[in-house]
Chain A
Amino acid sequence: MKKDLGAVWGRKGVRALLMLVPLLLAVVIPMVYFAAISLTPIPSGAQVPKGIWALLPEFKGKLEYRQAWIEAFTTLLCPMLLLCVPLLTGAVSSACAFMGEKEEGTLETLLLSSMDAKSIFNAKVTGCTLLSTFLSVVAFAAFFLTAAVGDLLTGAPFFLRIDWLVLVFLVTPAMSVFSVVFVSLIITRVHSTGEAMQTLGYLVLPVVLVYLVQFTGVFRLHWAVLLAVAAGLAVLSVILYNLSAQSFQPEKLFARPPEDLADGQPR
């Protein structure tokens, strides 16, 4: 596990990605939004669109125009940004730990040791999930500070309510496990680390779509729905974990003829 974490962190490009993307999503984008909404002059009679207004909590009547936009941003859009962190870090670390090692050939060396395939798989999944969860926690802490300062400066209500708590403590870890296991499942089908990372799109797209649609005012994700999502992701992760662990066998991982067949005689 230590070796896997070291290997993921040892790749310059991956390390930069794992540090910069959470920073961008959890700090830079919210900060730019807060600055923009605070500095933009408000036209007289400006109102928050009715659809979004309808999704704001009961105390919305007390909110000014800027405060309403900050409330909408922090509760309707920022969860999407924060959820992208476990997805991204989980998928990238998993792609490096599984596919990176497969590409370099050391997965074969490892499978020739006295460690059984299941233990190797477990160590990799655990390491990647811990890394992803740790980075998600750090990203949330950074977002917490940014949003708290923004709320204080604009007088907007404090953002951390029950839906955020469910999101941070249940959905985020479930998302980390899910993305790690999802990528581990596809390593027998892809050919490179880059290709494995591209599957990130399949994971991020549904999250982005759900939150963007929410921001148009069609629906609001209630905390109970988030609770169900966390439970659903956990169940799905267990299923995918079992499927992935079963396919983590040398025969399936290296399902190709050895090198010396390149000019061998097909019979």
Chain B
Amino acid sequence: MDAITAYGLTKQYEGRTVLQGVNLQVPQGSAMAFAGHEGSGKTTLIRLLSGLCRPTAGECSVLGMSPAFETAKLHAQLGVVLETAPLYRTMTLAENLRFFAGIHNMDANDAQERSSFLLHRLDIWEYRDEKAGALPTGVTRRASLARALMHTPRVLLIDEAARGLDPDTAEIVRALLRYSVQEEGAALLLGTRNMWYAEKVCQSFSLMQGGVLIARGDKESLRKGAGVRFRAALRLAEGDEPPPGFQLSEGLWQKDIDSEEEMPAIIAQAVGQGKRLWEAKLIRPALDEIYRAYLAGGKRREAAYGQQTRQKPEDSPAGAPAADSGAAVQAEQPGEDREDG
């Protein structure tokens, strides 16, 4: 069963389209990252799914409920972390958690047990009696997550979980999110621009740009859709010539390959040719590389489309899918690219 669904979800603010025709399904018990650069519509999507705003067009549902019309009922099973929704500054961390547990009609003992569990798991137990307004940024972010997890929600919507956290703390947060998904069966939608973190936490990804969903799927299908290939990397003894087709990059002889199954043959060939092979490895493209490939592909498609339009204006299609193979391509023209796009 899908915990989160969205069809043609569109949001405009004063005539500006900030989210356009997004289709999305997140099954119960799975984690999906909604990844993209600043201004790609991540926060807007979370606000729409949590009922803080209503779509201009399209529809969405969370746990089969309409966020806009069954808001309170939905919030009983939904945990949301937004940067714009902080804790009460004048209350201590423990008081905040007790207060929100009370709103969710939690039994006092259960609330105590749950807050103790969350504060320990997030490593902020020692801050429990400090006012929320005086907490360091990293603790505040973890405290907001604790607040959202207090009532053991079935769906988690989290905006920028790792922003402002050091690597150790980000790992603590990641571990708790994995626990929520795997042990408590929650569905997680993580809005983030940190592709590395998205990759660590989630199994599937929706890549966004300028309010448009440019691709979605698991990492492998996205890689294929973007046309990003694996790379075989070899480290040879100094003076040894590389096998044909290999280029030196970052101290290693590298070559694009279509499949990891080519690796044994490459190694065997190098050894067979008498090369002194010290190291051989398969380099899998990171999500960030795949995302950048999609952005670059969009730019190439735009250029090709423009050229085609100039040549044959009467035959121009509305846009042709440039990627397939499992990655659901939602938009053919993702708009203007960013600096690093």
Contacts and interface: CB of A to CB of B under 8 A. Distances in A.
- Chain B associates with chain A: yes
B contact patch SS: loop
Interface string B44-73: 100100111110000000000000100111
Contacts of B68: 251
A114 B18 contact: no
A109 B147 contact: yes
A108 B52 contact: yes
Interface string A100-128: 00001110111111111101000000000
Interface residues of B, number: 46
Interface string B7-44: 00000011011101000000000000000001110111
Contacts of A77: none
A113 B100 contact: yes
Interface residues of A, number: 33
Nearest to A111: B52
A114 B210 CA distance: 32
Interface in B76-90: 76, 78, 80, 82-90
A259 B85 CA distance: 12
A105 B84 contact: yes
Interface in A1-51: 3, 6-7, 10
Contact of A104 (B71, B82, B89): B89
Interface string A235-264: 000000000000000110010111111111
B265 interface: no
Contacts of A117: 71-72
B219 interface: no
A267 interface: yes
A112 B75 contact: yes
Contacts of A258: 18, 43-44, 47, 84
Contacts of A109: 85-88, 147
B75 A113 contact: yes
A266 interface: yes
8 smallest CB-CB distances across A and B, nearest first, come from A264-B39, A116-B72, A258-B43, A114-B76, A109-B85, A257-B13, A108-B85, A113-B103
Interface of B: 13-14, 16-18, 20, 38-40, 42-44, 47, 50-54, 68, 71-73, 75-76, 78, 80, 82-90, 99-100, 103-105, 147, 151, 210-211, 335-336
